[in-house]
Amino acid sequence: MKILIATGIFPPDIGGPALYSQKLAEEFSSRGLVVSVITYGKNFFKNNAYLISGVSRKWPFGLRQAIYFLKLLNQARKSDVILTFDSLGAGLPAVIAGKLFNKKVVIRLGGDFLWEKFVESGRGKVTMAEFYQKKLHQRFIILFRLIIFALQNTDKIVFTTEFQKGLFVSYYGLRPNKVFMIRNVFEKKNGQLLIYDNNLKTILWAGRFLKLKNLDLLLRVFKRLLVYDKNLVLELAGEGPERRTLQLTADNLQVTNNIKFLGKLSEFELKKKIINSYFCILPSLSEVSPNFALQCLALEKPIILTEETGLKEQFPGLMYADPQKEDSFFQSALRLLDANSYDNYQKFISDIHYQKTWRDLADEYLKILDPH
């Protein structure tokens, strides 16, 4: 089988589509399958096991997409099936190419383009569910109809959580027979069980500096925590357009001395940071199936998560908080400053026995990708 993977990002870019397109390309090619990858950007990691081609982001909008589409057409005609990792940037051209060459197309969704666009434009802080319930998606009627076209004309759609699947089936009119669930990888690392330590007080967050990550709330929560422990340190790993704004917010809150902006970390560096942190936190307005949270759990590290996430259905006993209520996250974090609460929560996480490897994931995808 010849598989074409169409993605918008690829390592060293950070994000689920980047990680999963790389890992699946490696898994598929290791089984003797012919794999090619098309992405945006030119500084991607290369691998001799599969062909990868990129489109420079320096090209202007419109021309960039046209070049991507032409590259995709060239590879699509030589492939048996196309796997794409979004609904619009890579998904729409993949669906059109699939129609032109009569190729099977599978779209894997792990985010929501319209909701993200709404929040990042500064129009309001709403959760993913609220975005649809309040009919805010209708403000992007052209993009909404393009996504509907892509999703309704693809062969199969893969979701990583029931949380997102339910929203899209309801609002995009998807047929149940073309919708599938494949949960993300979760490889338990049997990390060191860290007993409560009065001297180890680093709180860790990692991701992209975006409005939807709700980091201004995190900074306000952190300021309140410093009243209880002035030795706390908040480490923020990543990069993104909101970094400067967050630095100014930290200055205004007078917490700059206790905050470290780490920049973008490699997978190995992030793993070390997670292991050496006291607990991790993810206060986003919504998260579908966040890799950072899964990494923390795999390393048996306590984490406080937004309650607007698909992980709730998979790990119901974790500490979840309301992303629109500062006090909800503050009270949860305060609990973890208590020795007994911390130790009990970490023991609960260490008892999670669910396991799913990249090999397992590839097996599930190959069943869906089979063109016959």
Best CA proximity match to 368, nearest among 214, 137, 154: 154
Report the alpha-carbon distance of residue 260 to residue 3 in Å, rounded: 42
3-state helix, strand, coil in the chain (%, to 5): 45, 20, 35
What are the structural domains of the chain?
Answer: 2-185+358-369 (3.40.50.2000), 202-350 (3.40.50.2000)
Tell me the average pLDDT of the chain: 92
Structure confidence by residue, pLDDT tens digits, 316-332: 999 999 999 999 999 99
To the nearest 10°, report the CA torsion of 330, 331, 335, 338.
Answer: 70
Is pLDDT at 312 greater than 90 in this prediction? yes
Structure confidence by residue, pLDDT tens digits, 99-121: 999 999 999 998 899 999 999 99
Report the alpha-carbon distance of residue 141 to residue 157 in Å, rounded: 21
List the structure tokens of 308. Answer: 């607007």
Q: Which residues contact 283 (CB under 8 A, 6 or more apart)?
A: 205, 213, 214, 215, 217, 218, 221, 304, 306, 321, 323, 329
Is pLDDT at 14 greater than 80 in this prediction? no
Is pLDDT at 195 greater than 90 in this prediction? no
Residue 192, pLDDT score? 55
Structure confidence by residue, pLDDT tens digits, 238-290: 999 999 999 999 999 999 999 999 998 888 899 999 999 999 999 999 999 99
Report the alpha-carbon distance of residue 365 to residue 4 in Å, rounded: 13
- 0.75 cut: is pTM over it? yes
Counting residues of the chain whose pLDDT is more than 70, the rounded percentage is 97
